[in-house]
Amino acid sequence: MPNFADVPFPARVKQCAVEMAQRGVAALADLFDLVAPRSVRFAQALTRNQHDAEDALQAAFVRLALYPRGLVEAQHPWAYLLRIVRNEAIKIAQKKRAEDWLEMVAETWREEAIPDFEAVQLVRLALEKLPPSQSEVVVLKVWEGMTFAEIADVLGESPNTAASRYRYALQKLTQYLQPLAVEGRYA
C-alpha cells in the first residue's frame, strides 16, 4: 500500500470524505489538517486578507459539519470543498466592501464638512428600500456604533438575528448603491 503522502491530493481529500462517511464529523479534524493551508491560500486570493481567508475556511467547515453528506457524495470532493471555501470568501469580501463603503458614508455624515447631498439622498433612498427590520439594524450598527448584542437588546431579538439582518441589508445596499461606485465617487 502506498504512503498516504504519495497519493495525489484530490485522492487524499476523497479518502477523508470516505472517513467522514464512516466516522461522521469526527473525521473533520483530519480533513481540516489536510486542506487548511491550500484552502486559506485560495481564499486569500479572493479576500486579499489572511484573517478573512481563515474566516472563510472556518465558515466552510461549519457548513461541512452541518451538511457532511454533500462532501461525502461529491464526485470530486476537493473541488466541492474549494467551491464552498470560494463562496464563503466571496461573502466575506462583499460584506467587507459594503461595510467599508457604509463606514465611509457614515464618516462623511458625522463630519461637519459639506456633505454630498446627492450621495446622502441615494443612501437614504436605499435605506428606505430595505425592510424596516433591516434598516433599523444598519442605523444602529453604523451610525450608533452598537454591537450586535446591544442591538439584540434594543430589538428584543437574538444577536444572531441582528447579525443576519445586518448581513442581508449590506448585500441589498451594495446592489442599491452600485451607481455611486460605478461613478467612481465612492469606489
**Calpha distance 30→10 (Å, rounded):** 14
**Calpha distance 164→166 (Å, rounded):** 5
Predicted confidence band of residue 1 (pLDDT cuts 50, 70, 90): very low
Residue scoring higher pLDDT (135 or 2):
135
DSSP type of residue 115: P
Q: Are 147 and 80 in contact (CB under 8 A)?
A: no
3 state SS of 170: helix
Q: Is the pLDDT of residue 4 over 70?
A: no
Helix axes 159-176 and 77-110, enclosed angle (nearest 10): 80
**Calpha distance 67→94 (Å, rounded):** 24
Predicted confidence band of residue 35 (pLDDT cuts 50, 70, 90): very high
In order of 2, 26, 32, 150, the CA distances from 12 in angstroms are 12, 17, 12, 45
Q: Is the pLDDT of residue 58 over 60?
A: yes
What residues contact 30, with CB distance under 8 A and at least 6 apart? 16, 19
User: Residue 36 is inside which H or E element, if any?
Assistant: helix 28-47
Predicted confidence band of residue 2 (pLDDT cuts 50, 70, 90): low
3 state SS of 185: coil
Q: Is the pLDDT of residue 86 over 80?
A: yes
What residues contact 171, with CB distance under 8 A and at least 6 apart? 94, 95, 98
Q: What is the mean pLDDT of the chain?
A: 82
pLDDT tens digits along 87-100 = 998 888 888 777 77
DSSP type of residue 183: T
Q: Are 42 and 60 in contact (CB under 8 A)?
A: no
Q: Are 101 and 176 in contact (CB under 8 A)?
A: no
Q: How many CB atoms lie within 10 A of CB 101?
A: 19
pLDDT tens digits along 120-178 = 777 778 888 888 888 888 877 887 777 888 888 777 889 899 889 998 988 888 887 77
**Calpha distance 121→168 (Å, rounded):** 21
Domains and CATH numbers, the chain: 4-93 (1.10.1740), 114-182 (1.10.10.10)
- For the segment 75-83, the average pLDDT, to the nearest whole number, is 90
Q: Is the pLDDT of residue 5 over 70?
A: no
Q: Is the pLDDT of residue 187 over 50?
A: no
pLDDT tens digits along 107-119 = 665 555 455 667 7
Q: Are 32 and 61 in contact (CB under 8 A)?
A: yes
